[in-house]
Amino acid sequence: MKKLQNFVQPSFTQNTYAGEFAGQYIAAALLSARTLDNKYVTIHPNVKYKEVIQRIAIANIVNDASCDFTTSGSVALSEAVLTPKELQVNLELCKQQFVQSWEALQLGYSAFDTIPKSFNDYLISYVGGVVAQATEISVWQGVTATNGQFGGFEVALSASVAASTGVIAAGTGFELSGSITAANVVTKLTAVQTAIPNTVYGKEDLAIYVSTNVAKAYQTAMSGNGSGGLGANGFNNQMNIGEKELNFQGIPLLLCPGMSDNKIVATLKSNLHFGTGLLSDFNEVRVLDMANLDGSQNYRCILRFTAGTVVGVNSDVVYYGAYA
């Protein structure tokens, strides 16, 4: 008697279930607040309302000696005001969304459901990641008047270039903006480097900040791939040896995912300022079960924080990406 029976394979219409739930959720890859995590800018914690960044300019103070006290030179004081903006995250979810789903057993058999711990942990982590992504973008592209954003460096620098208030727009003799590719990235970076003021060049914390597409173009050029690649002259012409720390002519090249495409900023790290109330506020995601408060099946996710940026000295910045 034939003991092996072949049965028709069942078909499943629910394509999100893959056996017993392993207690893990998969989230889309998020940008982190790389600019802040790596301290690419000066961070000012404990700013409750405003903080004044003092700027001082001293000139011609060294003179020939004499017997008398003779006042010489000039001292000019100015200030930049750092004003963090209050922001918040308010989410509300219904626990019934998890009934008859992966998390049904974790809700318990009682009609008074509890928040699944695995999802609770995941939600806190995920919300923190989304806030980090939004913060990284606002640090560079944010517009204060836009809901959920605070003012970023790009907006301030573009306004300064337009008003001719000190920001040095890269490239006397070439365009101030335009697409950057592997074929022209070295030329663009060279122009930015050339435009860096002598008073800034050589300082320990000088850096060139670039957007993701600029970093990609530069890496491609250095590896010798594609149009404009440097071939054997590149520092990473053997792709299998791994990524190297980026620099241009000895100046650190810092990838900032929050920058918009085709943007380059050269300045001192100490010239870009980020302020907030408590740094721990970014990590404090509160989850409230509303059952004991209003008898509902809802629970809420809450986060509050403040953030803002300001440029110290505009004339110490080279900005590629401004409009002419």
Structural domain count of the chain: 1
Q: 96 in a domain, yes or no?
A: yes
Q: 235 in a domain, yes or no?
A: yes
How far apart CA 37 and CA 132 sit, in angstroms, is 10
**Mean of per-residue pLDDT scores for the chain:** 77
pLDDT at 168: 78
pLDDT at 99: 53
pLDDT at 243: 60
pLDDT at 208: 97
pLDDT at 116: 60
Q: Is the dihedral of CA 97, 101, 102, 108 positive or negative?
A: positive
pLDDT at 125: 76
Residue among 164, 168, 167 at smallest CA distance from 194: 168
Q: 4 in a domain, yes or no?
A: no
**What is the residue range of 169's domain?**
36-56+77-320
Which residues are within 8 A (CB) of 234 and not within 5 positions of it... i.e. 6 or more apart?
221, 222, 223, 224
Which residues are within 8 A (CB) of 15 and not within 5 positions of it... i.e. 6 or more apart?
none
Q: 291 in a domain, yes or no?
A: yes
Where the chain has pLDDT below 50, the residues are 5-23, 111, 229, 232, 236-241
Q: 126 in a domain, yes or no?
A: yes
Nearest 5 degrees, angle CA 14-CA 91-CA 127? Answer: 80
CA atoms within 13 A on the CB side of 228: 14
Q: 26 in a domain, yes or no?
A: no
Q: 264 in a domain, yes or no?
A: yes
Q: 117 in a domain, yes or no?
A: yes
